[in-house]
Amino acid sequence: MFRSIRSLSSTNRVYSSFKHATTRNTIADIYSMYHQKVPISMVTSHDFITAKFAEQAQIDINLIGDSLAMVALGYDDTNEVSFDEFLYHVRSVSRGNSKSLLIADLPFGSYEISADQALETSIKMVKSGRVQGIKLEGGLEVAPVVSKIVAAGIPVIGHVGLTPQRHNTLSGFKLQGATTESAMNIYKDCLALQKAGAFAVVLECIPNKLASLITENLNIPTIGIGAGPGCSGHVLVMADMLGMNGPSNAPKSKFVKEYANLYETAVEGLQQYKADLISQSYPDPEVHGYKMKKEVLAQVKQYIKS
């Protein structure tokens, strides 16, 4: 008995460490890139397949963004997706990507009531969604919330500038920080988030020079989307950058660069499939079918006739 107990506590046992326990990106990896001024790549995913895309492309941070409400679920804006719907997609992404740092948005209505609600939602996201951190929108007003979540051991990315969940207050999706007051408020928001413990902040749809100035004066990485080249890293919605929701000539945000058009490729593939069925070139019995022994076929025919 003592021998078996000793075998369990052998000095040869491998204990958990970063080297042995995981190959997933960590915040330490992100900060290493930040300090070396290596641009940080971040994209959104909304399901298992898009998560695999991000994993295979070695994307640094994979965000499960509430933009999936529109690009994957067909809602008019991000505010319509429920927490349970969103969590379903978060779990799908977490099963598909074992390499990138996984961050999930807190959807609208899941954190605004109180800091306690925000913490409870964040814990659910980490435990059930299997992500490594969360992202939430807002600046000075959410700093106490960020502080509470971080104190519980959950990493947080902030999000300022154009905050889509508040598009009604902002009178639509448009440039922020174009006036002196607006620009200074965005900077103050960033400082508040940094002080609260956020490990990075998303700058969305603000002037290039403002984003660069903020980046130069923060001690945490900035992730730009429509914020010019001066940020520490950049994020795009995968459905936008891969052209998943419409043809290449469809309207898109100014800051989006389309690297592929999967929509057109998919439609062309489906059209060819239908054409092959009509022409009877698919399925090819020699390529796509399975053979049957003649004697077995004869026996089955005899059975059917009898």
Q: What is the dihedral of CA 200, 202, 203, 208, to 10 degrees?
A: 70
Euclidean distance between the first and final Cα of the chain, in Å?
70
> Which amino acid makes up residue 47?
D
Q: Is the peptide bond before 285 cis (omega within 30 degrees of 0)?
A: no
85 flagged as catalytic: no
- Measured CA to CA, the distance from residue 188 to residue 9 in angstroms comes to 52
For the chain, strand residue ranges (E) read 40-44, 61-64, 101-105, 133-135, 156-161, 200-204, 222-225, 233-236
Report which secondary-structure segment, H or E, holds 305. Answer: helix 294-305
In whole angstroms, give the CA distance from residue 250 to residue 246. 6
Between the CA of residue 163 and those of 78, 120, 136, 154, 259, what are the distances in Å? 11, 22, 9, 22, 25
- Compute the C-alpha angle 134/186/211, nearest 5°: 85
Q: What are phi and psi of 21, to 5 degrees?
A: -85, -30
Catalytic residue among 204, 268, 286, 295: 204
Return the active site residues. Answer: 204
